[in-house]
Amino acid sequence: MYGGHMKRERFQTKIAETLGVAVLRSRPLGGGCVADVRAVDLEDGRRAVAKVGPPESRLDIEAMMLETLAATRAIPVPAVLHGEPELLVMEYIEADGTRSPQGEAEVADMLAALHTISAEQFGFGQDTLIGGLPQPNGQMDDWPRFFAERRLLFMGRRALNTGRLPGRTMDRLERLAADIDRFITPPPSRPGLIHGDVWSGNVLWHRGRVAALIDPAIYYADPEVELAFIDLFGCFGRTFWDRYAEVGEIREGFFEVRKDLYNLYPLLVHAALFGGGYADSVARSLHSLGV
């Protein structure tokens, strides 16, 4: 069974009904922390990727996020063929994993272009997801308060309530949130659209170029949130950073303070999902910020 709820026959029948073409075969792909991911060969010669999960996976939200990014034309993403809570069918993207400095410079241009797309407020018109966890996006004019309340405190409480974040660490997180303006100086001049989950597993490389970015967690943020996440997991190298500095904006104080501050959020996401060492990383980051 796939995702513990959909047998192969039902899965293939659902794909056929959705796309109007029979499924010849399917095989599992890597990834998919909240749903099974499968490559699907269709009778008309096309290949697609299908994600299958329980209704609470809300794969329709992932479909919406991919469509939002596709409409910007700033970054490459798989085309959505069908999206509903239990099933997401996407274009198959050929990837061989081959990287290059030129490709890193190109993706810096892509992300810098994405980050110029703005909105009136920070957040998004609806809540989204990150790693299968809810990502509340109630819109606010005040970026530091948005980041403190909708990101740090929300995810910290989720990790605390699942027993994966110690209460003493949550107390320190609340102290930081109460003094958040001190850490975000200068604040961003405007909201920028971000992919929200750029790490090596979500970057598909092919023949030295980035063929697609997958598994987004979009909202309008300080674009430096994206850069901090990229740095946290070492997704790109020096060429990316040099090029982004030329075409984008990295404000004074990012590498010294805001990078560690913004990376508290992905660390809290991982703590909420896995606990253990990620909770320790949150505590160390708070210490580095003097909290």
Distance CA 77, CA 32 (A): 16
Asked, as a colleague might, if the bond just before 186 is cis with ω within 30 of 0, I would say yes
Q: What is the pTM of this model?
A: 0.94
Question: Please, what is the angle between helix 277-288 and helix 264-274, to 10°?
Answer: 160
* pLDDT at residue 36, rounded to an integer: 84
- Burial of 58-89, coded b for 16+ CB within 10 Å and e otherwise, reads bbbbbbbbbebbeeeebbbbbebbbbeebbbb
**Shortest CA distance to 198 belongs to which of 158, 227, 223, 221?**
227
Q: Where are the domains of the chain?
A: 8-91, 101-288
- Dump pLDDT digits (tens) for 192-248: 999 999 999 999 999 999 999 999 999 999 999 999 999 998 999 999 999 999 999
Residues contacting 176, CB < 8 A, separation 6+: 148, 152, 183, 261, 264, 286, 289, 291
Q: Please, what is the average pLDDT of the chain? A: 93
Q: Could you give the 3-state DSSP secondary structure of residue 110?
A: helix
Give the CA distances from residue 146 to residues 69, 74, 221, in Å, rounded to whole numbers and listed in that order: 22, 25, 9
**H/E segment holding residue 170:** helix 167-178
Rg of the chain over all Cα atoms, to the nearest angstrom: 20
For residue 157, what are its two tokens? 């409480």
Please determine, looking at this structure, whether the domain spanning 8-91 carries the CATH number 3.40.50.1820. Answer: no
State which fold the 101-288 domain adopts.
Aminoglycoside 3'-phosphotransferase; Chain: A, domain 2 (3.90.1200)
φ and ψ at residue 2, rounded to 5 degrees:
-105, 125
Is 101-288 the same fold as 8-91? no
- Dump pLDDT digits (tens) for 89-122: 999 999 999 999 999 999 999 999 999 999 999 9
